[in-house]
Structure 1
Amino acid sequence: MKFAVFTDSTPDWTPAEAAKILASQGWHGVEWRITDPVASAQPTFWAGNRATWPLTGLESRLDEIRAVTLEAGLELPALGAYVTPRHREDAERMLSAAAVLGAGQVRFLGVNVEKGQSYREAFAAYRGDWEWLADCARRYGVRALLELHHESLTPSASAARRLVEGLDPRYVGVLHDIGNTVIEGWEEPAHALDLLGEYLAHVHVKNVAFHLAAVENDGTLRWAPKWVPLREGRAHLPEFFKALAAVGYAGWVTVEDFSTAQPLAERTAANLEYLSGLAHAAGYDLG
């Protein structure tokens, strides 16, 4: 098992700063956020994120991405795309970039039901998108990752397995994100991982708790999710790592910590220490 950080969670750092700091802390890899920037007066996770490579002109930046990564001694477990399989030109560009960089995998965004569609209609159309994506990934020799994500057609392992069933797991895999499933799609992690089977290709970890957001006039309580430090949320990560070990998962675990209780550098260092301890306790040999 190896550990990486997805740079959507390191908005304060430039790519060079992120690579240098993460390497110095002992992380094995970095998962780059790739999307055209959204302006913001201050860096935030999703706007003004400085640790982002732009999608526009990506091909001209691949040598720089490789150099920043490798010179820090880091590996590339995957690329974090912000396109869906329906954006076919950009989806193919991301697969091509992964092949050139040796990343091997690309995380794609999910989609939801569009206006006028039923869920079943949307799901059937999305399956067609993934059939195309599987064939495209095969041609580039890399794997496309379907992420378990709230507010998408595939928030759960069950839905994801149904979508990819029959596609070649060498070129299509599922990214299990336990933090996302806290919000929507929660299934007992041991069962979810077992169900994914050969399609379990990548893992993200973050954590979520629910807080009281409002009290309606009739006294009904409304609860809303909030990103919290890894130790504090609904997902019990010690049990999750034991479940990963039970199914024989030996791949990458990438952190997306959107909590802000600690300064960024302290947060990433503490997360690596915590996750390394969980992996050891679950029986992993981290060398």
Structure 2
Amino acid sequence: MAIQSALFSKVLRDRSLEEAVDLTAEIGYDGFEPMCRAPHLAVDRSTDEVADLRERLDDHDLDVPCLATYTGAYVGTSRSECEAQVEALERFLEFATLLDCDFVRHNPGGPAPWKATDQDVETAATWYQRAADRAAAHGVTLLIEIHARWLSETISGTEQLLSAIDRDNVGVIHDAGNMFLVGEAYGAESVDRLGDDLRHVHVKDEQLIADGDNRGNGNENENENEDGDGDGDAHGAFRLETADGLRTYRPRRLGEGEVDHAPLFEALVAAEYDGFVTAECSVPQDEPADDDAIATHELEQLTTLIDNAN
């Protein structure tokens, strides 16, 4: 199986789950990666609703490469909330079985490695082990996304966490956009370093607007990749505290920002990666038809990247 394309349904977040599936297929994607919160695949969906989703996906010949959940984030959280996160994950594991999906994204939480203590890593790993054991009972692999402000912000941080978790059914989501934000190498070197732990890939483009040294002044906002919110003069801009200081970025469509994905795709082909690459563009959507245009553009760019790498 060659590299295949998928769309993260967050791009179509203003549409119903059914409309999002239909449009994803109409545009021409091979896969559909559900955003696991309202209005899409929220935890309170019934078994019948998920069975209906599976039938709709089958009708469109769409695979589900991964369930993009927002479960986890164990550090600095009460025991009862951690327990609740594991129980929420259990429900998504049931959904994964119904949808014939092997991978579920599960968040280890923050802080970033350059802020984290050994105790933070131990806490996240202990709870993640419990989550992974639940997933193993369903035949599912949990995926840790390389993500700003998480313990998995960098490859070295991710490797440390994987070692502490020590479970065969835990892998990594490569995300060049997220890695660009924190100055992490995201090309061939990253593919080589992750090796067999690399199980899934997300792609999006970003652009640096400003680079300051006012780290830790309290004005930094959560990465827009999670919340869709930004702060700054440029449309959709957001501020991010990194190990090198406070920086301002804005999301862009693939090929219009500063993230050069070509070396990544060449490395994936060389490594014989045969999974999905999911587009998750976060640019602001101002008009009702923007999501259609964005999703179409991202597929065109993905197709070009795949074709050029082969």
SS in 2 for 1:234: coil
Q: CA deviation at 1:4?
A: 0.5
How large is the Cα RMSD of the aligned pairs?
A: 2.5
1:114-154 superposed Cα distances (whole Å, 9 cap, x missing partner): 9xx95221011111122222222211101111111101111
Q: Tell me the distance in 2 between the aligned counterparts of 1:240 and 1:164.
A: 22
Name 1:41's counterpart in structure 2.
none
Q: 1:80 to 1:121 in 2, by over 3 A?
A: same
Q: Tell me the distance in 2 between the aligned counterparts of 1:58 and 1:200.
A: 32
Q: Tell me the distance in 2 between the aligned counterparts of 1:149 and 1:280.
A: 27
Counterpart AA for 1:21: L
Name 1:46's counterpart in structure 2.
none
Q: CA deviation at 1:20?
A: 1.4
Q: Tell me the distance in 2 between the aligned counterparts of 1:207 and 1:248.
A: 24
Q: Is the aligned partner of 1:29 residue 2:31?
A: yes
Q: CA deviation at 1:95?
A: 1.5
Q: Is the aligned partner of 1:125 residue 2:127?
A: no
Contact kept? 1:241, 1:282, Cα under 8 Å = yes
- 2:259 pairs with 222, 231, 235, which one? 235
- 2:303 pairs with 256, 276, 279, which one? 276
Q: CA deviation at 1:23?
A: 0.9
Q: Tell me the distance in 2 between the aligned counterparts of 1:188 and 1:63.
A: 37
Q: Tell me the distance in 2 between the aligned counterparts of 1:199 and 1:22.
A: 28
TM-score computed with the length of structure 1 as normaliser: 0.83
Name 1:201's counterpart in structure 2.
199
TM-score computed with the length of structure 2 as normaliser: 0.77
Q: 1:215 to 1:152 in 2, by over 3 A?
A: closer
Counterpart AA for 2:157: A
Counterpart AA for 2:308: A
Map 1:90-109 onto structure 2 (within 5 A): 90-109=88-107
Name 2:136's counterpart in structure 1.
138
SS in 2 for 1:259: coil
Contact kept? 2:135, 2:142, Cα under 8 Å = yes
Name 2:291's counterpart in structure 1.
264
Q: 1:5 to 1:118 in 2, by over 3 A?
A: closer
Q: 1:214 to 1:153 in 2, by over 3 A?
A: closer
Q: CA deviation at 1:168?
A: 4.1
SS in 1 for 2:194: helix
Q: Tell me the distance in 1 between the aligned counterparts of 2:108 and 2:133.
A: 18
SS in 1 for 2:34: strand
Q: CA deviation at 1:213?
A: 8.4
Q: Tell me the distance in 2 between the aligned counterparts of 1:246 and 1:159.
A: 25
Name 2:62's counterpart in structure 1.
74
Q: 1:64 to 1:185 in 2, by over 3 A?
A: farther
Q: 1:185 to 1:120 in 2, by over 3 A?
A: farther
Counterpart AA for 1:64: D
Q: Is the aligned partner of 1:179 residue 2:206?
A: no
Q: 1:13 to 1:120 in 2, by over 3 A?
A: same
1:15-66 superposed Cα distances (whole Å, 9 cap, x missing partner): 222211211221101011112x3xxxxxxxxxxxx4x122124434221221
Identity %, equivalent residues? 26
Q: 1:211 to 1:133 in 2, by over 3 A?
A: same
Contact kept? 1:204, 1:253, Cα under 8 Å = yes
- Structure 2 residues not aligned, in runs of 5+: 75-81, 215-244
Contact kept? 1:3, 1:254, Cα under 8 Å = yes
Q: CA deviation at 1:215?
A: 11
Q: CA deviation at 1:68?
A: 2.6
Counterpart AA for 2:188: A
Q: Tell me the distance in 2 between the aligned counterparts of 1:93 and 1:7.
A: 19
SS in 2 for 1:89: helix
Contact kept? 2:204, 2:279, Cα under 8 Å = yes
Q: CA deviation at 1:191?
A: 1.6
Counterpart AA for 1:19: V
SS in 1 for 2:210: strand
